[in-house]
Structure 1
Amino acid sequence: MPLDSRFTPITEKIIGCALRVHGKMGSGFQEVIYQRCLAIEMEKAQLLFAREVEMPLFYDGHEVGARRVDFLVEESVLVELKALTEINDSHYAQVINYLNAYELEVGLLLNFGEPSLRIKRFVKSQQSRKTNHSPQQ
C-alpha cells in the first residue's frame, strides 16, 4: 500500500531539504550540525516544525517517562536524524517505537553519516502488518 497521500507532500519537502543539506555539507559532522542545517532548510521550505520535542511516553494509561524526538513536522511527521557510518535494526526500532508511542502514522529516519544520504520511511499502518519490522524504502 502506498504512503497515505496526505503525507506525501510533507515527506517530499522534508527529503528535499535533507538532500540539500547533505549535498552542501557532506558526511562527517555531528548530528546536531545536521539538525541545525535541516531546520534552516525546512524554514526556507515553509514547513511548520518543532525541534527537540520532548514528548511523554505512556504505558497502560500512565505516564512513564519522556523522550525527545529530533523533529515533529506539521504536527504529523516524526523525523529522526543520525550521523553514523551505518544504521541498523535498533535505529529502525527506535522510529517504530516512537510512532507507536506518540500515535503518529509516518516517520523518517535520515542518516547524514554515509557518503549518500540514507532515507528510511516508516508508515505505522504498514509496520503493524509486517513481522520483520523492515522499513519502507
Structure 2
Amino acid sequence: ADLGLTLAIENHADLAMADLAHLVRTVGADNLGICFDTGNAVRVGDDLLDAARVAAPLVKMVHLKDMIVIDASRGDPTAWWPSAPLGRGIFDIPAFLAILEEAGFDGTLFVEMANMHPDWEDEDQAVSESVAYLRRLANG
C-alpha cells in the first residue's frame, strides 16, 4: 500500500469465486482485490453472473473472454474451451458488465483469447471484433 500498488488475484482453476472473495475480504486490505477471469469462473463450475455478483465490489481488473463451453466438462478445471469473439460465445457480456458497473467498477478490461475456436482461428481478428463489440456496448 505504501508504494501505491494494488494486487489483484485472478480466479484460476482452483477456487470458486465465493472462496476467492472470502479470501480477499478476510485479508481486508484496500489494495487487494480480484482479477475476474470470465472463462475461469465458468470452468470451475460457477455461474458467470452469480460469480460477478459475489465478486463485483472487489474486482480491480477483468480478463474478459467469451467461450464456446463444452457442457460435459463444466466444473472440470483441467478442461479448456475454445474462445470466441466477445458476443459470439455463450456468456452474457452486457449483463456481466452491468453488474460490475453497478458495483462501481472502474478498472481495466482485458480482452483475452484462450484456445481459439476453429470458426475464429485468426486471433487478431477475433480481438478486433471483440473491441468493436465493447465499443458498441459502451455507445449504447
TM-score using structure 1 length: 0.32
Which protein is richer in strand relative to its size?
A: 1
Which protein is richer in helix relative to its size?
A: 2
